[in-house]
Structure 1
Amino acid sequence: MSVDKNYWWSKAKEASALVGWFPTVILAQWQLETGAFTSNNLLVNNNIAGQTWTAQYPESMKGTARPAKEGGYYVRYDDPVEGYIDFISRNSRYKGVCQKQTEIEQIQEIAACGWAADKNYAANLISVLKGNWSQGFILEEDDEMLKEQVTQLESLVENLQGQCQTLLKTAEAHIEKINVLEKQASMPVPDWAAEAVKKAIKAQLIEKPDGGSYDFYRLLTVLYRKGLI
């Protein structure tokens, strides 16, 4: 059976606005209690969190029997979310849950108040909660914080890209300059120094014309024009 988790997430937010529990806690509890919204209790009784029928409810709201080891009956509701809200409102022992400041604290308070007999109830509920976090079911303030962090990271990446481009251009300029210097350090005879080089070879001042530097050819040219070679 396909389950639309986003639908239940929206319902958890509605319930949260009325009971003061975090929607993330409510969603996790519903998932745990219904086997990810597939339990017979939910389908038959519209009971989303394992609420037990007591004498405060009319007989018409007595649902199917709970497991034999637990005894009693589930409450049957017309609407699962309205039933959940009604159950919390009727039971004052859970009034301290909404006063807790974090999701984990609320879960621990729910377990401490006796929602379930399972001693691992809080740990199991926290495990579901954290699994939902990884799927993006988080508190709105956490979502806003995450968006702000993403924006900051995007800005940082943009700045780094700009710096990389600047460094790349600087490196290219240095490489170009090095290439020019290398060419000047060992270059063929420039036209303006051709006569000076011929004179230098004839005077046995140099053995071969090519391979000199720019400054070398300039010096020969000066000596030639001064009539020294």
Structure 2
Amino acid sequence: MTITWLQLTCGRGTDSKSASTFTGKAEDRAWTALQRLHAKLLPQYDGAAWLAQGGFERVSIDVQYRVTKGRQRRTVALIGRLVNVDVSVACPELPDLTVEQLEDVFRPVVLDALAALAEAQGLGPLPPAGQGGGLSAVPLRALIDDPDPYDEEPGDCFVITRVAPDGVNPEVIERYERDLAWLLSGAAQAEVIEAEVSGTAVRWTVRVGR
């Protein structure tokens, strides 16, 4: 299975006012906007070469929108070759915005998160597509530091399986990966330690957070 260099997720923050302010339809628009932004950003940058400088394979950015104002919160966490950047941003106007307007709201937030990763890891500017060929790469970091396989520890992992009776193809994999991104939080997505594809199914092994 091909792992794209960038993954975007979003969801309601821990703000107590959010439950009554953000409706399901508004959240659907936010999710659609973020997925459209993801599709546009992937081909615009040589992100894989950029991340390879630090031995990373993918960066996952989780945008948590909230009602209350305040300083934008941002954290960068390294998990082997996977990087999580969690961003909490005030967006009380979210229910009134269209998908196109939300795209414009999320774009600077995502680019700022990538810039934060670049600063934290000394990766330099994110190169536009076709301009990352000169960057030096180091071996990918180990996905798991512990040499013992986690799936041999009782209760430490769980498995998600999606069956495809008509056969697995790239379109099916892409659709199932979108479903997985919607199902798991940003932190949980970084805990996917194994992905297997057969002729009729896709399976993910997810490490349970400690």
Q: Which TM-score tier does this pair reach, normalised by the shorter chain?
A: under 0.3
Q: Which has the higher helix share?
A: 1
Q: Which has the higher strand share?
A: 2
Q: Relative contact order, CA 8 A, sep 6+: which one is greater? A: 2
Rg (Cα) greater in structure? 1
